[in-house]
Amino acid sequence: MLRKAHSLIGFKIDATDGEIGHVSDFYFEDDSWTIRYLIVDTGPWIFGRKVLITPNVIQQPRWEDGHLPIQLTKDQIASSPDIDLDKPVSRQHELDIYTHYGWSPHWMPFPSYIGAPGLAPIGDLVPLAAEPTPTDEAQSALENAAQEGDPHLHSIKEVTGYHIQAVDDTIGHIEDFFIDEADWTLRYLLIDTQNWWPGKRVLIATDWVDEINWGESKVAVHVTLEEVKRSPEYSVTAPLEREYESALYGSYGLPGYWI
């Protein structure tokens, strides 16, 4: 099922031994459109402190009453690294988080650790204590990565409001995002077009995004103004069903991501 990102802000976070705060924002990667971290405000438990947790630790969400149980204890959260939200998240800070919880960093190739190709998929957290010592090459790569910031990591709140630049015109601005609860992937941008023509709300698939211009607060998409006008209007009061998704992709003459 797909859920609006902003509807999840305020969800309570339940550790294994008690509530520890609520969701205040999300960090996503703009190259994979994956939610990498939830920003959790721990007040009033720990007043004024925010921490990052990965979606991998979320157990079965309680959507009906707005709770996200996680596989962490209050002590683990309390002793986790501080995050300065006024600065970009560096790989060093990410490394500190993964080291604190004993996980393999998500950006490290698996071959250096467990002999499997590719990057660690969402949902797989490999305890470092159970892994062999990394090779010298892997250790060097890890240290180099830790010194760099992550230019692809951005917050949902930051990008909300960015203008959408189609191939031939500006068509609106981002009002929200849709998260696929199965793998915490961002599937769609919810676009409000009313400032550009007597408008409507439409969805643009993240697969259709060419680039994000952070300096100009714009998102370039490879669709035309006419294609957007022909696409089915999204009703904010209706659940996002596969029937609508099929009509949306069909209006662009494209196969759906689920095919």
Structure-token match 């998240």, residue found: 89
pLDDT in tens, 6-37: 999 999 999 999 999 999 999 999 889 999 99
Q: What does the alpha-carbon distance between residue 256 and residue 249 come to, in Å, rounded to a whole number?
A: 6
Residue 134 is predicted with a pLDDT of: 56
pTM of the model: 0.82
Dmax over Cα atoms in the chain, in whole Å?
A: 61
pLDDT in tens, 171-230: 999 999 999 999 999 999 999 998 787 778 999 999 999 999 988 999 999 999 999 999
> What sign has the CA pseudo-torsion 256, 176, 202, 169?
negative
Residue 203 is predicted with a pLDDT of: 97
Residue 130 is predicted with a pLDDT of: 46
Residue 76 is predicted with a pLDDT of: 94
Residue 137 is predicted with a pLDDT of: 65
Reduced to 3 states (helix: H, G, I; strand: E, B; else coil), residue 231 is: coil
Residue 154 phi, psi (nearest 5): -145, 160
Residue 17 is predicted with a pLDDT of: 95
pLDDT in tens, 222-256: 999 999 999 999 998 888 999 999 999 999 999 99
Residue 139 is predicted with a pLDDT of: 60
164 and 172 Cβ atoms separated by less than 8 Å: yes
Residue 141 has pLDDT above 90, yes or no: no
Residue 153 is predicted with a pLDDT of: 87
Over residues 80-90, the mean pLDDT reads 81
Q: What does the alpha-carbon distance between residue 1 and residue 170 come to, in Å, rounded to a whole number?
A: 30
Give 246's contacts (C-beta < 8 A, 6+ positions apart).
256
Residue 103 is predicted with a pLDDT of: 83
Residue 105 is predicted with a pLDDT of: 80
Structure-token match 């600065």, residue found: 87
Q: What does the alpha-carbon distance between residue 259 and residue 240 come to, in Å, rounded to a whole number?
A: 17
pLDDT in tens, 98-126: 889 888 787 765 433 333 233 333 444 54
Reduced to 3 states (helix: H, G, I; strand: E, B; else coil), residue 188 is: strand
Report percent pLDDT > 70 for the chain: 83
- All domains in the chain, ordered by first residue: 2-153 (3.90.50.10), 160-251 (3.90.50.10)
Report percent pLDDT > 90 for the chain: 62
pLDDT in tens, 36-62: 999 999 988 887 789 999 999 999 999
Residue 93, token pair as written in the block: 């800070």
Residue 184 is predicted with a pLDDT of: 96
